[in-house]
Amino acid sequence: MITFEEGKQIFKLDTQNTTYMMGLVDDVFLGHIYYGKKLRSAGGSYRFRTDEYPMSPRYLLREKLGFFGGFPFEYPTGGVGDYSESCLDITNEVGQNGCELHYVSHHIEKGKPRLPGLPASFGSEQDVETLFIVLQDELLKVQVELQYSVFEAEDVITRCVTIRNGSEHTYRLEKAYSACLHVEKEKDMELITLAGAWARERHMDRRPVGHGKTGVSTVRGETSHQEHAFLGLVSPETTQTVGEVYGMQLVYSGNYSAQVEKNLYDIYRLTMGINGETFSWKLNAGDVFVTPEAILTYSDQGLGQMSRNYHDFMRNHLIRSPYLHKDRPILINNWEATYFDFNTEKLLDLAREAKKQGIEMLVMDDGWFGKRNFDDSSLGDWVVNEEKLQGGLKYLVDQVNAIGLKFGIWFEPEMVSPDSDLYRAHPDWAIQLKDRPVNMHRAQYVLDITREDVRDYVYGSIAKILRSANIEYVKWDMNRAISDAGSCMLPADQQGEVFHRYVLGLYDLLERLTTEFPNLLLEHCSGGGGRFDAGMLYYGPQIWTSDDTDAVERLRIQEGTALLYPLSTMGAHVSKCPNEQVGRMTSMKMRGDVALSGTFGYELDLTTMPEEEKALIPAQVENYHKYHSLISDGDYYRLHSWDSHAPYDAWMVVSKDKSEALVTFCQVLGRPGYKRILLPLQGLDASAEYILDGEDAVLKNGETVSYEGDLLMELGLLIGNSGDFSSRLYHFRRK
């Protein structure tokens, strides 16, 4: 619910459990008052501390800087006296930077409009209410419309900004962030971010917040393996179950900046948006610029509640795919089985063996096009190599379908190899700096999809392949970051727009793809998890979590990813051992149990794997079909992290009606001499009785023993010591 108390000049935004408030000073300056636990009534404008100034800063000009230096602006601007991090920097027609925003008007609507050219949340008039606040710089004639959408059931508020140049001049946006949030606490706060690298993405990182600025950002042109567009500001006592959490993340797939600044008054300012370091946008007279959307949530029940808020929000209001609540086909990808060395018969042999094990889809990975026998050629030449695929692609797909499997295919549409027909014909289609040799990675360049002609070629190439055969899945990959960020098409005064225009071009391609092929299962990938973000989930329901498929390494990676994203979005497969990335040997059961908390599939050679491991696949397939709906749609609870205190990992998923729960326990290292573990569970119905299914069911006098929900949560589940790299699943059903 959104209300405006005119007498108090306060906006109050309420969700089921939270309140967000902001207010006006002298009908002019919009400031932040409060975000946190739900309040009964609007108030708190005393937090502005205007009584410390004898007159309004609008009129007492001699003290205006003092006011600007301490006021918690809802959308702070640069150049006029607010010396903390700004959200908006505008350079005028004579090259000077300065902007001062005054309140003009507001209105409230049921529902939520789409953002042009950008992925964004959606909802019906019953789900969401939206507040629009118009601010204006009276000198520049620039209007800034702040948009707040309130998703009451999920305890989420989204924010974005529309900037309109109402003057006759041309300006430059040097920074246009999506959101700012002020948090005022007597206690010191801590920051949680997600950091890592290729093959160890999204490890949780927690640190105290001192005075000054700290945060995360990227200039790589993608969300990146190294950082993530998320900030979690938490109280020192915060755990999974207790403490305050302010969560903010960005629905965007390019360069971002997200930071928290503790100022001289010990107030925390969180800001988030497109990274200004690589951004400059020409705003002609009459032009409009729209920022990406930021997703805010608050929890006073620890990180676990923040995660569940985000999971519900993304399932209900961000992911559009028809596969959202369906079982995804269990796939096998041929990459680790064949690499580039395959032909039609080898793929069909893999498909026949997969069918015997209950696997449902064959995905043909890199190497099927052009003259692609290694990773140094042919990207951009999306023409089937019929020396490998004898009889053509349609023949292969038809044969795979006849075996009883669906068919999927790999693309890397945004790239071009120097050794390709495409590059030889159009060298200017690569992103590049004038007269400077382009830096390569993996022997490839990045296509300039800021250009409409390049996008048309890319889309036409992909669509032609998809129209040619019954292809039901696409893995869309991107295996290098962007450098040398120049475009041969854009004029000199718009070269600062390349990175953002690239992301808009990507979204245009994905929108076209999902419009023409609405039933396509689209999985995003970027060298693994380098572009795992909320923006990509708008177009496809799953993202390859990491190229590291080692079950132990995946525990940290999937824990960090699940902090924000539903388990059903995480691409997770069983791979061969010893693991290709780290060389570790883990049990087939543990590999299967870890991958079960994701999309589930296989990356190995079924025709050569040990028979004792292959014999476990049918049971893993059965588990997927048995538990997928629960894992996909249930509430996620993190029970333990293996790299803290004790070497085991545990999480659980509870159905919305609390009638069933699945606990996954992974023992990373043995515990010689230790007693059995008591693992407290979460999220159950305290008053209900539960029975344990399957091999772990306990019988007494021929009857299944029941467990009381409150005892399982307070005393814990008793788990034996089962040795290194072992795992167990515990499925509870309400009696």
Q: Which of 155, 477, 533, 635 is catalytic?
A: 477
484 annotated active-site: no
Contact 161, 146 (CB under 8 A): yes
DSSP labels, 403-456: HT-EEEEEE-TTEE-SSSHHHHH-GGGB---TTSPPPPBTTBEEB-TTSHHHHH
Which residues on adjacent β-strands are paired with residue 363? 333, 408
Instruction: Find out whether the peptide bond into 672 is cis, omega within 30 degrees of 0.
Output: no
Q: Who contacts 703 (Cβ-Cβ below 8 Å, separation ≥6)?
A: none
Alpha-carbon distance of 498 to 489, in angstroms, equals: 10
Query: How many CB atoms are closer than 10 A to CB 614?
Result: 17
Instruction: Kindly report the backbone phi and psi dihedral angles of residue 207, in degrees, each rounded to the nearest multiple of 5, phi listed first.
Output: -155, 155
Alpha-carbon distance of 171 to 140, in angstroms, equals: 9
Reduced to 3 states, what is the DSSP secondary structure of residue 37?
A: strand
Residue 411: C-alpha distances to residues 114, 175, 522, 526, 620 (Å): 29, 34, 11, 11, 28
Residue 614: C-alpha distances to residues 63, 139, 141, 365, 574 (Å): 76, 72, 69, 22, 11
Query: How many CB atoms are closer than 10 A to CB 640?
Result: 18
DSSP state of 113: P
Q: Which of 547, 550, 593, 649 is catalytic?
A: 547
What are 440's two structure tokens? 């390569």
548 annotated active-site: no
Alpha-carbon distance of 364 to 360, in angstroms, equals: 14
Q: Who contacts 152 (Cβ-Cβ below 8 Å, separation ≥6)?
A: 1, 14, 15, 16, 127, 128, 129
3-state SS, 517-573, equals CCCCEEEECECCECCCCHHHHCCCCEEECCCCCCHHHHHHHHHHHHCCCCHHHEECC
Most distant pair of Cα atoms in the chain: their distance: 88
Which alpha helices (H) appear in 563-703, and where do they start and end?
588-596, 611-614, 617-633
Alpha-carbon distance of 709 to 687, in angstroms, equals: 6
Contact 256, 217 (CB under 8 A): yes
Give helix then strand counts, H and E, for the chain: 14, 41
Q: Whole-angstrom distance between the N-terminal and C-terminal Cα of the chain?
A: 38
| Catalytic residue numbers, as ranges | 477, 547
